[in-house]
Amino acid sequence: MRVKNLSGFGGILRRPRRLLRMTNCLNLLTLNFQLSTAPVKIGILAVQGDYEAHARMLERLDADYVLVRTPEDAAQVDAMILPGGESTTMLKFLKEEGLEASLRALDARGASFFGTCAGAILLAREVRAPAQDSLGFADLTITRNAYGRQLASEVRSAPSKLKAEPLEMVFIRAPWIDEVGPGVEVLACEGGRPVLVRDGRILIATFHPELTSDTTVHEYFLKLAAAASAANPDESGPTPHPPHVSNDSPESRSSSPARTAAQSSPIPRH
């Protein structure tokens, strides 16, 4: 259901540092979706925000999960969900409670991350309006609260790569993805802008799939997490990205030179 037309916002992204310029996101979309799956334990950052909605979604999928509030919790998991909420509050907690180091260690192990709304902001390489620190695991630039105040929140639907039917999307003070790196795959667009993207083992949604009845996005993440876990069975060893997803075959994406350079480190790590 579309309750507000955002066509006036436009869909052209800037292109500094070889970032991808996209004039028509829908040209990038296909409907192929197949990744291997295996049992993994998913962590849900349970500091603030709608983490309980993610937990209910995982329960529907019979997925093993733990609510993460301490570094000890984070050490138990194979992948992590960063939910919607208030990104500055969440980031402050991560720093003060030692969880930021735990998440960076999890990333260094090659684990998958899924960020929704505020979680997407935490994972982005660069945050604007205003600028703030982030974990920086995903090669994209994001603008906070770009869709307006909470009263302007709305439900929409749009096509995606994940299934033939449109995805229902709940936007609540949602950010915009302004720029994406050359290796970032767009999985869904709405209003000419990417709203669901994947950078290797990192999944980003500017909307809230956990607030709908559709399990599609979470199913995709579970398969992505399983692929990353299978690619990194030895946590003390090298941590490459899992096999990349392509428009023709989600398991056999060929890497361009630009993506190969970003594969082991999608952003500069300091």
Q: Which residues are catalytic?
A: 117, 208, 210
Beta-carbon-side half-sphere exposure of residue 221 (alpha carbons within 13 Å)? 33
Beta pairing, strands 185-190 & 193-199? antiparallel
**Amino acid sitting at position 223:** K
DSSP string, 175-244: PEEEEE-TTPEEEEEETTEEEEEEETTEEEESS-GGGSS--HHHHHHHHHHHHHHHH---TTS--PPPPP
**Amino acid sitting at position 40:** V
Helix (H, G, I), strand (E, B) or coil at 20: strand
DSSP state of 152: G
Cβ atoms of residues 54 and 81 within 8 Å: yes
Structure tokens at 219: 């199913």
d(CA 172, CA 223): 26
d(CA 5, CA 250): 31
C-alpha distance from residue 28 to each of 20, 138, 188, 262 (Å) = 12, 19, 9, 20
